Amino acid sequence: MSDKRVRVRFAPSPTGGLHLGGVRTALFNYLFAKKNNGDFVLRIEDTDQTRYVEGAEQYIMDCLDWCGITPDESPAKPGPYAPYRQSERKSIYRAYAEKLVAQGHAYYAFDTAEELDKNRKEIPNFQYGQVYRDGLRNSLSLPQHEVDQLLDNHTPHVIRIKIPADQTVSFTDMIRGRVSFETNQLDDKVLLKADGMPTYHLAVVVDDYLMKISHAFRGEEWLPSAPVHLLLWDYLGWKADMPQWAHLPLILKPDGHGKLSKRDGARLGFPVYVMDWENTQAGTLEPGFEGVGFLPEAFINVLATLGWNDSSGHEIFSLSELVEKFSIERISKAGAKFDFEKAKWFNAEWIKRSGAEKLKTRVEKVLTDKGITIKDDNYLLTVIELIKDRCTLLTDFYQQANYFFRVPAEYDLNAVKPKWTDEKTNFFNAVIELLKSADTIVAADLEASFKALAEEKGLKTGDVMLPFRIMLVGGKFGPHVFDIAALLGKDETINRIEQALTAFTA
């Protein structure tokens, strides 16, 4: 690596929800920057104003904050290379496009949308480029005086790059090695649109140069654009300052056939966005990993292992561990299948490894959103510690914890009533008397007394343990039943046994 300061950028378009593939690109940028004591830059690529969605930029920044990969420079935190929105840099780009025209590397094109559509319909595989450009309305085919007149009259036009014929354009990708392209396969991409906005091709090169970007990570779907960008770096005289590129492998559908899309998530029942995205145009709420109950640590861990590993066989990494262990050499060229069940496993592992104090705020929100009032923080922390190993998603805490805060609204009577007997009623009335005589409930002591009483009454412990659980929680789930009783306390346990006996004997 050169002595040049490491500066990387994540450059999303504010057009909707942030796809997990985009966040993985941001994550790899972040890890590489932090590993090399560099800068992680967020640049908003909003040059396509027709696709701009209100609120999407703030949503992108919220997603990165939630993930813990907050940029060093961004529209919200401007640095020395501001502004960080391309729409606010509009005045910068025309001069570079005009310079390319003056050098003979680009040209004005005056064709209307209707004329181009007519060509596409009449000519199979029509491309605006070497084969057809001389027969179209542009500054290469028209006399100079006519071009000058069209420009003087402010005739709508675009500026296109003039792709040279019969050349091979090559570069070394940090992941893929040497990559080459034949220019005869390329079309003359638009660099500056009729509204004066640059296209991605011009803007990404100009901005990366002006912002001193040293390394550019992007998805492999951008590989076909690489030769155009290589030519622009060369034509603008900046080749020596061109960033090193790494084209990341695709995140694939679970079956491995094609790139994962938001439609796949809707079809297969899992999120593909980071946070819930309110699609006001469609009138829908598109779920995100945060909304369905993922911890950010788990989500980042999942993304890091989609196309990268540290060769140790370990799978659980904190963000700081990822920074320490990250290397480009360990990124795969092949696409990585997304497995939602594996993603949930990561989340369950992170819940287990997280202390109750760390989980408290998020669990409290899950419970209060369902109408549960938390009156005692220490009680909540004890509940979390008792049940966290049973939760895969944060949303599971409601089902696993709600009975600690309120009496079950209903019971799994089918598991109890068919085998209910007067002997069991007598047994639980005896348990109530046992509890009344105790000062407090100690789980181990209650378990011993409960089993001894069952034996005394001629009952198998297993025949009364399940009803006891259902009395306390409503169903066949939860941690050790005597731990539940100890946490509920003497009075509440008695109350629940009495209420349940009424339902069981009705």
Binding-site positions for ATP: 262
Q: What is the enclosing helix (H) or strand (E) of 265?
A: helix 262-268
> Residue 87 has which token pair?
């729409």
Measured CA to CA, the distance from residue 242 to residue 216 in angstroms comes to 9
CA angle 133, 145, 93 (to 5 degrees): 65
99 with 236: CB under 8 angstroms?
yes
CB atoms within 10 A of CB 314: 11
**Neighbour-count burial of 455, counting CB atoms closer than 10 A to its CB (0-12 exposed, 13-18 middle, 19+ buried):** exposed
C-alpha atoms less than 13 angstroms from C-alpha of 9 in its C-beta half-sphere: 26
Which residue in 35, 77, 90, 262 is the catalytic one? Answer: 262
CA–CA dist 474, 103 (Å, integer): 79
Q: Which of 339, 326, 335, 337 is nearest to 220 (CA)?
A: 335
- Cis peptide leading into residue 83 (ω within 30°): yes
Q: Which of 289, 272, 390 is nearest to 67 (CA)?
A: 289
Taking the C-alpha atoms of residue 81 and residue 74, their distance in angstroms, rounded to an integer, is 10
Contact 83, 89 (CB under 8 A): yes
Catalytic site residue 262? Answer: yes
User: 165: which 2 tokens?
Assistant: 């014929």
Collapsing DSSP states into helix, strand and coil, what is residue 8? strand
From CA 181, how far away is CA 422, in angstroms rounded? 84
End-to-end CA distance of the chain: 78
β-pair type (106-109, 158-161): antiparallel
Nearest to 29 by CA among 71, 67, 81: 71
Phi, psi of 397 (to 5 degrees): -65, -25
C-alpha distances in Å from residue 270, one per residue of 22, 25, 224, 263, 310? 17, 20, 30, 10, 27
- Region of 229 (left: φ > 0; alpha: ψ -120 to 50; beta: rest) is alpha
Q: Do residues 51 and 92 touch, judged by C-beta distance below 8 A? A: no
Which residues are known catalytic residues? 262
